[in-house]
Amino acid sequence: MEPKTIIAVKDLVKNYGDFKAVKGISFEVFEGEIFGLLGPNGAGKSTTLEIIETLRGKTSGEIMVDGFNLDQSPNEIKKIIGVQLQTSGYYPGLNLTELIHLFAGLYNEHVNAIELLDTVNLRDKAKAKFKELSGGQKQRFSIATTLINKPKIIFLDEPTTGLDPQARRNLWDLIKEIRSKGTTVIITTHYMDEAEILCDRVAIIDSGNIIAKASPDKLIDELVASGFEKPKEVKQANLEDVFIHLTGKHLREE
């Protein structure tokens, strides 16, 4: 079956004054996949995401999200996407349940806060304040906030940056679970191990240009077919495997 395109970005350009941050990129995201936007710092990942999220204006190009043109129907798009809200909006005096009710009010949605917290494994923290959470818990809560309006697509901008190996793995499981329920996921990361494990397809963006676009498997096969060889003999494990083997997979920060 042909995959259905849920996001189509065509010739997207974003200039900040004289500076060309995004230089005419095109890509498609298929319904139900985890799509990775990979690239070094400053490549234009967040700019691209925020434009699709209707949070930032573009210079030129055309964007369609689930059949809606971004220029004509931004409000329709807002209704079907889930965006990580800025943590600065997480009022310090409110607990997680209260924050969810606050955000749900903004979306005009009724949500069962405990059920939602349960999906991100934070039921125990329902009465805790955001600032009292560990890094991994904060990220999980932030992902929960993307799900409030029961979106078709969620956008995750570097959700695992700064997390320890256990918390990263825990978040991968959560992201896979969200996708298994039919939600399309767009994620940015500069961890390639993460992209390889998580993403069905990726686009690699560098200095505002997309320089590769395919499944991780295909990109690796192409590199190998081109005659690339690793300078060192590859071992059966790496230091992260050692770390996880020694310290276990369970989360520490709870």
By the criterion CB under 6 A, which residues form the site for ligand ADP? 16, 19, 21, 39, 41-47
Which residue type, as a one-letter code, is found at position 1?
M
Q: Which stretch binds Mg ion (CB under 5 A): 39-47, 166-174, 177-185, 196-204?
A: 39-47
Q: Which of 185, 192, 165, 176 is nearest to 252 (CA)?
A: 165
When CB distances to Mg ion are compared, the closest residue is 46
Phi and psi, residue 32, nearest 5°: 85, 5
Residue 46 is a binding residue for Mg ion (CB under 5 A): yes
CB 47 within 8 A of CB 205: no
Q: How far is the CB of 81 from Mg ion (least distance, A)?
A: 18
What is the pairing mode between strands 34-38 and 60-65? unpaired
DSSP string covering 84-116: PPPGGGS-TTSBHHHHHHHHHHHHT----HHHH
The partner in contact with residue 228, picked from ligand ADP, Mg ion, none with C-beta cut-offs of 5 to 8 angstroms by kind, is none
The partner in contact with residue 42, picked from ligand ADP, Mg ion, none with C-beta cut-offs of 5 to 8 angstroms by kind, is ligand ADP
Q: How far is the CB of 39 from Mg ion (least distance, A)?
A: 9
Nearer to ligand ADP, 32 or 44 (CB): 44
E strand or H helix that includes residue 211: strand 209-214
The partner in contact with residue 169, picked from Mg ion, ligand ADP, none with C-beta cut-offs of 5 to 8 angstroms by kind, is none
Residue 137 is a binding residue for Mg ion (CB under 5 A): no
Residue 149 is a binding residue for Mg ion (CB under 5 A): no
Q: How far is the CB of 210 from ligand ADP (least distance, A)?
A: 12
Nearer to ligand ADP, 207 or 215 (CB): 207
Q: How far is the CB of 43 from ligand ADP (least distance, A)?
A: 4
DSSP string covering 125-139: GTTSBGGGS-HHHHH
Q: Which stretch binds Mg ion (CB under 5 A): 3-11, 44-52, 58-66, 246-254?
A: 44-52
How far, in Å, CA of 201 to CA of 100, rounded? 32
Q: How far is the CB of 49 from ligand ADP (least distance, A)?
A: 8
E strand or H helix that includes residue 202: strand 201-206
**Which tokens is 189 given?**
């990361």
Nearer to ligand ADP, 48 or 149 (CB): 48
Buried b (16+ CB within 10 A) or exposed e, 1-34: eeeeebbbbeebbbeeeeebbbbbbebbbeebbb
Q: How far is the CB of 181 from ligand ADP (least distance, A)?
A: 27
Binding footprint of Mg ion on the chain (CB under 5 A)? 45-46
